[in-house]
Chains A and B, each alone.
Chain A
């Protein structure tokens, strides 16, 4: 497969997930577009070095996350802000009582806000979990043990559980 073909395959399969990944790391739309561009350029420039030592998906996410982490380091220096460990966050209260669509938007808003405040590793784990990956796949991309991944996911789910339950109730009505 040529370099162009492989890049097109990546663009087709991972276009929207990479946009969501950029969203998890950067809230500002302008800077997010720059980050996404850097990720796409990084993938294009290094796609010829992909050697099938891991799955294409693992490689793409690893490259993209590492570019995003470098972006976070640069942003953190320019605009330092306190990060929040998942251990320290309180579960969301399930008190929303409005239309289901609004609840979904509210859930996403809270999820994004949480992402913005999480330390890089928790952010990496949570965004991969939200892409539907298993603990083993996340472990392969991030390099931490599956048990550690499972613990971090459990903490994140505990935090989000309240809002998700409420949305489920609305959906059933």
Chain B
């Protein structure tokens, strides 16, 4: 019993070298962190809205049929990508309590996107963007070289994203395997 107390006292009185904060200071800090994380989500919505507006304006203002069709196709493709990225998020319908099951579900969603979604997203955006560029080159022949150079860069970036997703798939699979082992041995891993 004496041994137990000594052990517990030693553990509980250890110095961790951290700065002592009051509960109110901790609350302020965690709220600021939460705001920063949420702001990133809001920023992404703003980017989506701007891209949609831009593509819609281009589609409406273009005289060339290729440009108009390309802008509309890219608009559809971008909408599809936005949907795929949002689909099946574990926090849909409220903030879930953190648990290994919730974290696993989020990783599985990311894995699904990295395995199939990336290529589908590229397939949805690249044709529209290419068609639009072809129309742009037809409309402004003096800038054609620049436009085709942009298309080449777009294709190269798309290929790089595709290749990166394969590495991401390997990393996510490794982490999921670790989590599944944990879920198997920690009975309350699913509870928050």
Contacts and interface: CB of A to CB of B under 8 A. Distances in A.
A20 B188 contact: no
A20 B10 CA distance: 12
A131 B2 CA distance: 16
A164 to B, nearest CB: 4
A100 B96 CA distance: 47
Chain B's interface size range is 35 or more
Interface string A144-171: 1000000000000100110011011001
B3 to A, nearest CB: 4
A108 B191 contact: no
Contact of A77 (B21, B100, B174): B174
Interface string A16-52: 1001100100000100010001001110111011000
A20 B12 contact: yes
Interface string A82-100: 0000000000000000000
B185 to A, nearest CB: 5
Contacts of B98: 42, 45-46, 63, 66-67, 70
Interface residues of A, number: 58
A37 B33 contact: yes
Interface string B163-192: 000000001001101110010011111011
Contacts of B95: 45-46, 48-49
Contacts of B14: 20, 23, 108
Contacts of B30: 7, 40-41, 44
Given A7-B30, A41-B33, A131-B12, A161 B3 contact: yes
Nearest to B13: A104
Contacts of B83: none
B23 A20 contact: no
Contacts of A77: 171, 174-175, 177-178
B34 interface: yes
Contact of B191 (A62, A67, A160, A168): A62
B57 interface: no
Which 7 A-B pairs have CB atoms at the shortest separation, nearest pair first?
A: A143-B187, A143-B188, A73-B178, A11-B23, A42-B98, A130-B11, A8-B23
Interface of B: 2-4, 6-8, 10-12, 14, 16-18, 21, 23-24, 26-27, 29-31, 33-34, 37, 94-100, 103, 171, 174-175, 177-179, 182, 185-189, 191-192
Given A8-B24, A130-B7, A141-B188, 10 more contacts: A15-B21, A40-B33, A42-B98, A45-B98, A49-B95, A62-B188, A121-B186, A130-B11, A157-B7, A160-B7
Interface of A: 4, 7-9, 11-12, 15-16, 19-20, 23, 29, 33, 37, 40-42, 44-46, 48-49, 59, 62-63, 66-67, 69-70, 72-74, 76-77, 104, 107-108, 111, 119-121, 124, 129-132, 141-144, 157, 160-161, 164-165, 167-168, 171
